Amino acid sequence: MKRSSLLANLLALALLISSSSVASAQWQAGSAEIKITPDKLIWMSGYGSRNHVAEGKLTDLWAKALVLEDAAGNRGVVITLDLVGIGRLTGQAICQQLEKQYSLSRSQVAICTSHTHTGPALQNNLRPLHYLQVDKEQQQAIDEYTDSMINKVVAVVGMAIKKMVPSELSWGSGYCTVAVNRRTNSEAMVPQLRTAGKLAGPFDHDVPVLAVRDMQGNLTTVLFGYACHSTVLSFYQWSGDYPGFAQIELEKRQPGAIAMFWAGCGADQNPLPRRTPELAQQYGARLAAAADEVLKGTMRPVTGALETRYQEVELPLAPLPTRDDLVAATSSKNRYEAARAKMLLKQVDAGQPLAKTYPYPIATWKFGDAASWVILGGEVVIDYAIRTKLELGGKKVWVAGYSNDVMAYIPSRRVLTEGGYEGGSSMVYYGLPAHWAPELEEIIMRTIHAQLD
């Protein structure tokens, strides 16, 4: 055979193999990232003790997007943000633009935040804690940042769509013990309790990992989660806290891949001890190592169809305050309670009665028969992760909080009955007029079952 004929045959064979590989790909996937670190030193989020704007930067903050599409063309977009949370109006603004520009329905979009307490304050989140406590100039700066962030999130989704290529998905679950239940363990005693093996629960130390690889086997994206508050740091430097360091470390371990973190049901879980950048870096490295161990082990392939669902259920509140109650609260020595009362009183006097319920977002994604992802709004306590896994499939079920709309703490009935910060007093800082009604847990769980069953 002539050399030219041999080369032609080899080229044809290579093209045949290549096209066969593309045809056998069950997924299309693309990911991208964009910085959302504020250009200005504006007010920071997370703590009521804040008394001035940010002073600088420890690490950049990021918005990242992963677009997945199955063989039938069903598409889903995961957005992860290094922010304390987003409000309902911010989430709606993002999704409206995504629908307009990329024909993405609400059920196809999951917006997850890391809940870092060293990010910027936002316009529609924790208003009595941040937005209503600052002057008009700072409010304008927060408004401008929020609008800019929304535009960047929409842009990064477009970037990810353009990068979509045939891909393979796999999943696994790791283990990390950074989280400590802050309701059952004294912060000062944690080192001693940990050494003695006497830390009390409940807790959830699972590290769900979704890996995206191109058809050459190169890792392109890692989506991973963990149930623990992002509260190692409380200073005045922009930072992604331990989840930010985990993403940085995982990307060092897996060059060329984009690492994306989502927060689990860690509302009552803290990284302890805390307060230093060294600890944030150490915890991030531990979480990254747990995820990396999964990536280097045997992972289960994800096949079948992608199903995405989204629903807002009317979650009932306890009896509402009267107008006289609000008037009295405006004189509270707690400035946040007074700010909430003035905000609600202004609403009532404008002829808008206080709502008896809140439209609570619940979403679920099913990755064929491989795994299911439950995506909940608000600061969700660990009981929901434990119960959901127990009732719906163990480690095959991932449970995210802090997603789509972070409007308040979401206690279980147990935590609501016990009271405390997670049980109800935190409602002041989010601006809702009352505690949740006792039936909230059953309403949420019933909806999760209905979507996944």
Where helices occur in 166-311 by DSSP H, the ranges are: 190-196, 241-253, 277-296
Strands 109-113 and 75-81: parallel
Q: What is the pLDDT of residue 453?
A: 84
Cα–Cα distance measured from residue 329 to residue 314, given in angstroms and rounded to the nearest whole number = 26
Q: What is the pLDDT of residue 18?
A: 41
Element (H, E) at 169: strand 165-175
Q: Cβ atoms within 10 A of the Cβ of 420, count?
A: 14
Q: Could you tell me where the beta strands, DSSP code E, fall in 41-129?
A: 56-57, 62-70, 75-81, 109-113
Q: What is the model's pLDDT at position 369?
A: 87
Instruction: Report the pLDDT value the prediction gives residue 333, as an integer from 0 to 100.
Output: 94
* Cα–Cα distance measured from residue 311 to residue 360, given in angstroms and rounded to the nearest whole number: 8
Nearest to 365 by CA among 74, 132, 31, 54: 74
Q: What CA–CA distance (Å, rounded) separates 27 from 70?
A: 5
Stretch (H or E) spanning 34: strand 27-35
Instruction: Report the C-alpha gap between 335 and 342 in whole angstroms.
Output: 10
Residues in contact with 274: Cβ distance below 8 Å, sequence separation at least 6, in sequence order: 231, 232, 233, 280
Measured between alpha carbons, how far is 91 from 403 in angstroms, rounded to an integer? 9
Give pTM, 2 decimals.
Answer: 0.93
pLDDT for 92-139, tens place per residue? Answer: 999 999 999 999 999 999 999 999 999 999 999 999 989 999 999 999
Describe the chain by its helix, strand, coil percentages, rounded to 5: 40, 25, 35
Token pair, residue 64, equals: 């990242």
CA of residue 178 relative to chain centroid, distance: 18
Using the structure block, give the residue that is written with the tokens 């439209």. Answer: 359
What residues have CB less than 8 Å from 199, skipping those under 6 apart? 180, 181, 185, 190, 193
Extract the residue ranges of the chain whose pLDDT is less than 50.
1-4, 6-23
What local confidence, expressed as pLDDT, does residue 146 receive? 98
